């Protein structure tokens, strides 16, 4: 069983994300052989020109989607932390969609069952959105690497400010 | 079909009736998409000359075969085509963003809108369901506000909207159609055509897949263009943005200043790309599918108009800045923001204001006409006040709202000499007196004064040709550049990405073949480029435009560049213009009057329009 600090998910850096939606195309093509954002596991939100960010599954420690499913169609992989769907059990009721705080669960327009990011577990070169992002805004992270990054960034800023004052 | 949706949507705005027609592979290949397909649809749905504001004038919205795919920039654009109220010829403007992708997923390659709605409406295209909805509650509001209200009331955040502002509603001939809030199909007065139909906005939601013919090769091609976009061809746009041109043009003494009174702006360093990026630009964002983000969002952090946010490019900064003698960034940013708010073409708006300033400085305006505004060059408050008046079509703004050609007719005296336009469309930020290849490009540009129709000015700017010389051979250069541009505008490739098409026609043919599965050669693509140019010429000819309209603004031909430097004293003389025109028409295989021959029309498969041109 993978430890919580080793669990990987995809994170978008809002400073770097420019809202180009290439991640959506890369995902929908890779997963569905079609260019269609509504079949993408990662979705871009542009709240205004300055606020752009792509959102996908964060592989929560206590996934609300799994807890919400009344038919036990969703489970969390002990190996990877991925959310796994039993297609035969899902009836598309959408409780998981309502439960997810991030909008990462979606109902497929054709199969009528829900789908969610699986980090392209079958792709040798990893998540396709990360591969294609032209701004390197998407990275595969763990909660620990995210915290490290934030820590390093704030300390750098602090010392930079100090140097500027001197 | 691959790439194409294979369907054209027709909407009668008077009755709300809609129908669809199949897009045949033959038509698709012949006209490519975008402006080519749009002009074909406009011509094939009209019979005689008409007024641009008559209900019969079709407003055509067209996409390319790449729209909705992952191909960088080609995936995200759309073109509007109609008859222009500003020029009487073809109205053509393209814009990018996300709007076009949604329309492709709704299942259409083009929408042909005719008729006039009885009261303000907006068109909602929701896949197969196409409806007119009441727009009385958003009439008068800005395109951005209309966008928010529509998405809110339809309950889908991902609906994409193209809308007009107050200027378009009030039939301003310098108004455009805005999509995704910061993108403008700005030139040739298309906003007014939409306004004349009582059509406030077009909202689209599309859920269909978009597929390409050769998926693996297509992805390789996308990858290759992503790499090109990370390289030198796109560096300018990725870093300082198009505003980099400001210092370059100024240093070359070819930046029109104070309405062409000068070609050099003394205070350019106060509003250079470096200054604007350091102090105002807060974020650079991208259109859908683009790997070379170039949209510079600026915000005023302190001083006048604090908190104002807008998009900056060379075009709006030049038109509202140096062109009006203004060097205060806060006012230029505010003015740019107001243009977006009212749905005005910032280039034409800036030139209209500089024209008024010029008239005022030369004493052509009465005190009453000015209504307390003192529009001297450099008066930044007057700039912002005048945009408000143009947007609302109030007082003096009403005179400017139809562009400089019409304004000069109203003001009279010798004000026509100060009106910097070609065919009724205002000039852009490159001094044509010292860029003579660009001057020819602008003179023959089918939509009026515009550097982007051929993009040939790059030859002048980079010293590839002698920019101060008019000589035989330039005609062929302009033709070749135009053909490539016509194709890019039909594939909906962004002009900022033009530099990444190193292989020009070879690249274009390759992208087209892999996407659509319709095999084409570079030579066939060149013919398509000529065909599209000919379509535009036919529309212009039907509109009454002749060789006399392929001309240059009075100052370009009569007022020598006054600034010290290599261009000092330069003008384009009548003799030079005639030489260049003859050379260009010859390169196109046109008559001395600039008309295609019947034989040529037949070769291009345009013989159905032979009645438009009378043989010499």
Q: Where in chain B is the domain with CATH 3.60.9.10?
A: 7-205
Q: Which CATH number fits domain B237-422: 3.30.450.40, 1.10.569.10, 1.10.10.10, 2.40.340.10?
A: 1.10.569.10
**Minimal CA–CA distance to A75: which of A91, A56, A59?**
A59
Residues 95-124 of B with CB under 8 A from A: 98, 105
Report chain A residues whose CB lies below 8 A from the CB of B285: 18-19, 46, 49, 52
Distance (Å) of CA B444 to CA B34, B471, B552: 20, 16, 9
Tell if the CB–CB gap between B70 and A32 is shorter than 8 Å: no
Tell if the CB–CB gap between A20 and B287 is shorter than 8 Å: yes
> Given a cut of 80, is residue B176 above it in pLDDT?
yes
Helix axes B574-588, B474-491, angle to 10 degrees: 60
pLDDT of residue A70: 97
Tell if the CB–CB gap between B207 and A109 is shorter than 8 Å: yes
Q: Where are the alpha helices (DSSP H) in A12-119?
A: 22-32, 64-68, 95-99
Domain boundaries, chain A: 4-165
Residue B378, classed as helix, strand or coil, is coil
The distance from CA B41 to its chain's CA centroid, rounded to whole angstroms, is 19
Token code pair at residue A71: 């038919």
Q: Where in chain B is the domain with CATH 1.10.569.10?
A: 237-422
Best residue of B209, B216, B228 to probe chain A, by most A CBs closer than 10 Å: B209
Token code pair at residue B130: 């196409």
**Minimal CA–CA distance to B73: which of B240, B233, B225?**
B225
Task: Search chain A and give the residue with CA nearest B284.
Answer: A18
Mean pLDDT in residue range B22-47: 97
pLDDT of residue A163: 77
For A101-142, write each residue's pLDDT tens digit: 999 999 999 999 999 999 999 999 999 999 999 999 999 999
Beta strand pairing call for B7-12 and B110-114: parallel
Phi, psi of B363 (to 5 degrees): 70, 30
| More confident: A44 or B369 | A44
Q: CB of B501 within 8 A of CB of B455?
A: no
For B123-158, write each residue's pLDDT tens digit: 999 999 999 999 999 999 999 999 999 999 999 999
DSSP string, B514-576: HHHS----HHHHHHHHHHHHHHHHHHHHHTT--GGGS---HHHHHS---SSSTTTT----HHH
Token code pair at residue B444: 């023959």
Residue B162, classed as helix, strand or coil, is strand
Query: What is the ipTM, given to two decimal places?
Result: 0.94
Give the model's confidence band at B616: pLDDT under 50 very low, under 70 low, under 90 confident, else very high.
very low
Token code pair at residue A56: 């996908």
DSSP string, B457-480: HHHHHTTSS-TT---TTHHHHHHH
- Write b or e for each residue in B149-164: b if 16 or more Cβ atoms lie within 10 A of its Cβ, otherwise e: bbbeebeeebbbbbbb
Task: Search chain A and give the residue with CA nearest B73.
Answer: A20
For B474-504, write each residue's pLDDT tens digit: 999 999 999 999 999 999 999 999 999 999 9
> Given a cut of 70, is residue B580 above it in pLDDT?
yes
> Given a cut of 90, is residue B98 above it in pLDDT?
yes
Tell if the CB–CB gap between B209 and A37 is shorter than 8 Å: no
Token code pair at residue A13: 């850096």
Tell if the CB–CB gap between B230 and A134 is shorter than 8 Å: yes
Classify residue A85 as left (phi > 0), alpha (psi -120 to 50) or beta.
beta
Q: Where are the alpha helices (DSSP H) in chain A?
A: 22-32, 64-68, 95-99, 128-132, 143-165
Region A4-165: CATH code: 3.30.70.20
Those residues with Cβ within 8 angstroms of residue B491's Cβ, 6 or more apart along the chain or in another chain: B32, B33, B34, B64, B65, B66, B74, B508, B511, B512
Q: CB of A35 within 8 A of CB of B211?
A: yes
> Given a cut of 90, is residue B555 above it in pLDDT?
yes
Q: Would you call B210 an interface residue with chain A, using a CB distance cutoff of 8 Å? A: yes
Residue B209, classed as helix, strand or coil, is coil
Report chain A residues whose CB lies below 8 A from the CB of B158: 37
Residue B101, classed as helix, strand or coil, is helix
Count of pairs with CB atoms under 8 A, one residue in A, one in B? 72
Phi, psi of A150 (to 5 degrees): -65, -45
Residues 124-163 of A with CB under 8 A from B: 132, 134-135
pLDDT of residue A166: 66
Task: List the single residue in A19, A22, A29 with the smallest CB-CB distance to B285.
Answer: A19
| Separation between Cα atoms, residue B600 and residue B603, nearest integer Å | 5
Region B7-205: CATH code: 3.60.9.10
For B345-368, write each residue's pLDDT tens digit: 999 999 999 999 999 999 999 888
Distance from CA of B97 to the nearest CA of A (A): 9
For B435-450, write each residue's pLDDT tens digit: 999 999 999 999 999 9
Distance from CA of B1 to the nearest CA of A (A): 14
Residue whose pair of structure tokens reads 């009645």 in the numeric block = B611
**Minimal CA–CA distance to B82: which of B200, B179, B191, B190?**
B190
Token code pair at residue B314: 């060379």
Task: Say what the pTM is.
Answer: 0.96
Task: Search chain A and give the residue with CA nearest B281.
Answer: A50
What spatial distance separates the first Cα and last Cα of chain A, rounded to whole Å?
Answer: 50
* Angle subtended at Cα B169 by Cα B167 and Cα B170, rounded to the nearest 5 degrees: 65
| Separation between Cα atoms, residue A96 and residue A74, nearest integer Å | 9
Token code pair at residue B376: 């001297």
| Separation between Cα atoms, residue B74 and residue B233, nearest integer Å | 16
Burial class of A78 by CB neighbour count within 10 A (0 to 12, 13 to 18, 19+): exposed
Token code pair at residue B538: 């036919």
Mean pLDDT in residue range B173-185: 96
Mean pLDDT per 10-residue section of chain A, whose length is 166 residues: 81 96 97 96 95 96 96 95 96 97 96 96 96 96 91 91 74
**Minimal CA–CA distance to B382: which of B345, B350, B418?**
B350
Q: Would you call B309 an interface residue with chain A, using a CB distance cutoff of 8 Å? A: yes
| Separation between Cα atoms, residue B454 and residue B138, nearest integer Å | 37
| Separation between Cα atoms, residue B307 and residue B540, nearest integer Å | 44
Report chain B residues whose CB lies below 8 A from the CB of A37: 158
For B260-315, write each residue's pLDDT tens digit: 999 999 999 999 999 999 999 999 999 999 999 999 999 999 999 999 999 999 99
């Amino acid at each position: 069983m993978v430890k919580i600090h080793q669990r990987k998910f995809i994170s978008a850096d809002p400073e770097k994300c420019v809202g180009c939606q290439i991640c959506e195309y890369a995902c929908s093509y890779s997963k569905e052989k079609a260019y269609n954002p509504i079949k993408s596991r990662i979705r871009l939100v542009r709240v205004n020109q300055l606020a752009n960010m792509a959102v996908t599954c964060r592989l929560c420690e206590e996934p609300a989607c799994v807890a919400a499913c009344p038919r036990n169609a969703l489970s969390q992989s002990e190996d990877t932390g991925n959310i796994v769907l039993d297609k035969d059990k899902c009836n598309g009721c959408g409780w998981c969609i309502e439960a997810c705080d991030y909008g990462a669960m979606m109902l497929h327009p054709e199969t009528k069952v829900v789908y969610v990011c699986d980090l392209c577990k079958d792709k040798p070169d990893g998540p396709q959105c990360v591969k294609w992002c032209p701004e390197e805004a998407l990275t595969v992270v763990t909660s620990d690497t995210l915290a490290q990054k934030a820590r390093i960034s704030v300390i750098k800023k602090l010392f930079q400010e100090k140097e500027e004052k001197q | 079909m691959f790439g194409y949706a294979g369907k054209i949507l027709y909407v009668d705005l008077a009755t709300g009736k809609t129908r669809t027609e199949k897009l045949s592979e033959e038509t698709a290949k012949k006209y490519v998409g975008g402006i080519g397909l749009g002009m074909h649809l406009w011509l094939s749905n009209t019979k005689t000359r008409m007024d641009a504001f008559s209900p019969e004038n079709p407003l055509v919205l067209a996409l390319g075969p790449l729209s909705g795919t992952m191909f960088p920039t080609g995936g995200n654009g759309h073109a509007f085509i109609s008859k222009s109220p500003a020029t009487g010829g073809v109205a053509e403007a393209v814009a990018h963003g996300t709007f076009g992708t949604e329309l492709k997923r709704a299942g259409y390659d083009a929408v042909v809108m005719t008729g006039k709605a009885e009261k303000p409406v907006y068109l909602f295209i929701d896949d197969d369901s196409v409806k007119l909805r009441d727009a009385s509650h958003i009439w008068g509001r800005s395109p951005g506000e209309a966008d928010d209200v529509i998405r809110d009331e339809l309950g889908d955040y991902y609906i994409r909207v193209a809308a007009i502002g107050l200027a378009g509603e009030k039939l301003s001939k310098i108004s455009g159609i805005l999509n995704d809030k910061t993108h403008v199909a700005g030139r040739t007065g298309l906003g007014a055509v939409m306004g004349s139909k009582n059509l406030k906005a077009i909202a689209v939601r599309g859920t269909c897949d978009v597929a390409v013919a050769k998926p693996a090769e297509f992805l390789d091609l996308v990858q290759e263009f992503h790499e090109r976009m990370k390289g030198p061809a796109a560096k300018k746009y990725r870093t300082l943005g198009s505003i980099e041109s400001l210092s370059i043009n100024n240093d070359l003494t070819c930046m029109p200043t104070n309405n062409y009174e000068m070609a050099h702006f003394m205070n350019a360093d106060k509003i250079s790309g470096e200054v604007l990026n350091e102090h105002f630009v807060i974020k650079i964002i991208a259109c859908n599918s683009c790997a070379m983000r170039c949209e510079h969002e600026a915000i005023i952090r302190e001083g006048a108009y604090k908190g104002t946010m807008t998009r900056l490019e060379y075009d709006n900064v030049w038109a509202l800045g140096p062109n009006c003698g203004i060097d205060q960034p806060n006012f230029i940013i505010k003015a740019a923001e107001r243009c977006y708010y009212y749905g005005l073409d910032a280039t034409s708006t800036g030139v209209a204001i500089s024209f008024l300033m010029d008239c005022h400085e030369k004493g052509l305006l009465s005190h009453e006409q000015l209504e307390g505004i003192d529009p001297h060059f450099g008066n930044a408050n007057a700039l912002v006040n005048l945009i408000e008046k143009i947007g609302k079509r109030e007082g003096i703004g009403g005179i400017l709202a139809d562009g400089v050609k019409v304004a000069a007719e109203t003001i009279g005296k010798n004000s026509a000499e100060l009106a910097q336009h070609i065919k009724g469309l205002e000039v852009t930020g490159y001094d044509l007196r010292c860029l003579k290849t660009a001057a020819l490009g602008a003179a023959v540009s089918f939509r009026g004064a515009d550097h982007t129709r051929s993009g040939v000015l790059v030859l002048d700017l980079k010293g590839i040709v002698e920019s101060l010389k008019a000589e035989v051979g330039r005609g062929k250069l302009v033709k070749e550049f135009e053909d490539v541009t016509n194709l890019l505008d039909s594939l909906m490739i962004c002009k900022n990405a033009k530099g990444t098409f190193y292989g020009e026609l070879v690249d274009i043919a390759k992208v087209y073949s892999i996407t659509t599965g319709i095999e084409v050669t570079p030579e066939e693509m060149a013919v398509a480029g000529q065909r599209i140019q000919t379509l535009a010429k036919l529309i212009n000819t039907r509109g009454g435009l002749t060789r006399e309209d392929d001309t240059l603004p009075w100052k370009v031909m009569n007022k020598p560049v006054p600034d010290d430097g290599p261009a000092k004293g330069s003008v384009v003389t009548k003799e030079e213009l005639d030489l260049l025109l003859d050379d260009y028409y010859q390169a196109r295989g046109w008559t001395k009057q600039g008309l295609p021959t019947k034989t040529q029309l037949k070769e291009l498969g345009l013989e159905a329009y032979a009645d438009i041109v009378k043989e010499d």
